[in-house]
Structure 1
Amino acid sequence: MVGREAVMRSAEEFNEVQGLISGGLNDCAISRLTGIPRPTVRDWRCRPPNRLGRPTAAAPCGVLHDFSTLPTAAYSYLLGLYLGDGCISKSRGVWRMRIVLGTAYPAIIDRCREAIDMVMPGQHSAIMQKPTRCVEVGHYSKHWPCLFPQHGPGRKHSRRIALEPWQQTLVDQATEEFVLGLIHSDGCRVVANDRGVRSVRYHFSNRSEDIIGLFTAALDSLNVHWTRSTKYIVSIYRKADTARLDEFIGPKSIAVPWTNVHYTS
């Protein structure tokens, strides 16, 4: 597996290392010459170059990314949050991700911050209090447009939203986390009383047909039956299906661990 250091290295550095490898230098010598950590040099030596994503001319950060090294669970969860209540915008010459979350659910705020910190190792997200019982979890980085290429001008429902192949691969590996992020942003869990019988229901609301399609496709992959309650709302009613969602979601007030997730009411 390519080390995290390799994620943010530039194409020029990668090409330089490949040239030195071709020249017969060992990893220690290359590290001393370039200043690139030896584990990164070793990773680049062992992994064929065609496995590495290469930046396009339009890439905002202009560096080499290997998206396969992203933390799968944290990224998929953060992607769900971003598609629901997040945005990426340029501020003071650098890109900023913002996720707006309700103060009524501190466990979700903490989990959002943890996800950002795992996706951007060695850095820390910040919280800004909003006047409407919300907080804004934010983080500055030139790499956000590369990691979340769904960003763009205007509201999400007014433009096409589709996952890149590398994003779909990560979501396929951590589908529960992706669904969890979408529910934590634009969804809810309701405990209803149907003629004296307690029942759990899940709802997801979004004005983007594309985002609704991503949500329902993820449910399909988990074999969770869903219905369209309205044009903008997807609902899960059946007992077996809500029980399946309760295994990894549960009430928004409950902190969800990153491993061995099995919520029980």
Structure 2
Amino acid sequence: MYGSHTRSEAHRLLSAGGPVSDVARRLGVSRSTIRAWRDSPGTRIAAGCPVCDSHPLPHNAYAALLGYYLGDGCISRAERQHVLRVACDASLPTIVSDVERAISTVHPTRPVFLVRGPGVVVVSSGWKHWPCLFPQHGPGRKHERPIVLEPWQRDVVADHPGPFLRGLFHSDGCRVRNWATRTVAGERKRYDYPRWQFSNRSDDIHDLCTWALDLVGIAWRRSGRWTTSVSRREAVAELDRLIGMKS
């Protein structure tokens, strides 16, 4: 009957708002067939790959998803596809929803699954092109291999550093309150102040984090072997505004 290219083109035209009659006439397919393709999820064709097929890539959502992937994500091989998984703290439902929304936006024609375990929710979706969008995928742990962005990925992050930082800090980061004591007019007083910390064992990922912080003018420092901190009051306030609280 009809090849996958015809069905894919029909879904593209329908997604762009084309009426069933116009799509049927343009492709030389009956209106009943076009309606069946539109209404039957089993006949839907996955969206084209932005890398392989020059399919549009929603940069804002992708920048966030890239941050989540570098923080707590992985890609594994399944029988006929690859599966992207991002592990989230079960006590932070807003972040779970953010990851789910980012995956759905980047690849809207496939389902997203939530797999719950003790203290964790794994957000996952299958697609054969995930390694195209995340060429940092490879054997072994991320901190045991080089993590270098492709030029097109750097362009995306440079245009959307805020979502990228949200993905990084909301996966491998935390907002804590530090305290210190100081003697003022002979009286010992305690002061506490907030701080963002990003913890990861990959120096390459730390370099990407600090590069993005530089892009938005947020001061940072490496406060430990595996920790990057944002501690200045105005810097913390700006990062709060840019990425929001973890919840």
- State the match for 1:65 in structure 2: 54
Partners of 2:64 and 2:165 within 8 A in 1: yes
1:179 aligns with 2:168: no
1:152-199, Cα deviation, whole Å (9 max, x unpaired): 111011111111111111111110100010001110111233333331
- State the match for 1:110 in structure 2: 97
1:158–1:193 distance in 2 versus 1, CA, 3 Å: same
Aligned equivalents of 1:198 and 1:208: distance in 2? 30
Which of 205, 211, 222 is matched with 2:216 structurally?
Answer: 222
Q: Which runs of 5+ in 1 are unaligned?
A: 1-8, 15-26, 38-52, 56-62, 254-265
Partners of 2:110 and 2:126 within 8 A in 1: no
- State the match for 1:42 in structure 2: none
1:140 alignment partner, SS class: strand
1:126 aligns with 2:103: no
The alignment's TM-score, normalised by the length of structure 1, stands at 0.71
1:203 aligns with 2:189: no
1:126–1:217 distance in 2 versus 1, CA, 3 Å: same
Aligned equivalents of 1:31 and 1:155: distance in 2? 49
Structure 1 residue 76: Cα displacement? 0.4
1:88 alignment partner, SS class: strand
Partners of 1:116 and 1:124 within 8 A in 2: no
Tell me the number of residue pairs that the alignment of Structure 1 and Structure 2 aligns: 205
2:131 alignment partner, SS class: helix
1:100-153, Cα deviation, whole Å (9 max, x unpaired): 01111111001100000000123331111123x111110001110111111011
Aligned equivalents of 1:65 and 1:28: distance in 2? 22
* One-letter code aligned to 2:226: Y
Aligned equivalents of 1:114 and 1:162: distance in 2? 25
Partners of 1:193 and 1:199 within 8 A in 2: yes
Aligned equivalents of 1:244 and 1:194: distance in 2? 22
Map 1:2-151 to 2 at 5 A: 31-32=26-27, 63-66=52-55, 69-131=56-118, 133-151=119-137
Aligned equivalents of 1:76 and 1:151: distance in 2? 16
Aligned equivalents of 1:78 and 1:54: distance in 2? 15
Moved more, 188-197 or 79-88: 188-197
1:54–1:204 distance in 2 versus 1, CA, 3 Å: closer
1:54–1:71 distance in 2 versus 1, CA, 3 Å: closer
- State the match for 1:60 in structure 2: none
Aligned equivalents of 1:84 and 1:102: distance in 2? 12
Highest CA radius of gyration, 1 or 2?
2
When the two chains are superposed, the root-mean-square deviation of aligned CA atoms in Å is 2.6
* One-letter code aligned to 1:184: H
The alignment's TM-score, normalised by the length of structure 2, stands at 0.76
Aligned equivalents of 1:121 and 1:250: distance in 2? 25
Aligned equivalents of 2:141 and 2:228: distance in 1? 20
Q: Which has the higher strand share?
A: 2
Q: Which runs of 5+ in 2 are unaligned?
A: 10-21, 35-48, 182-189
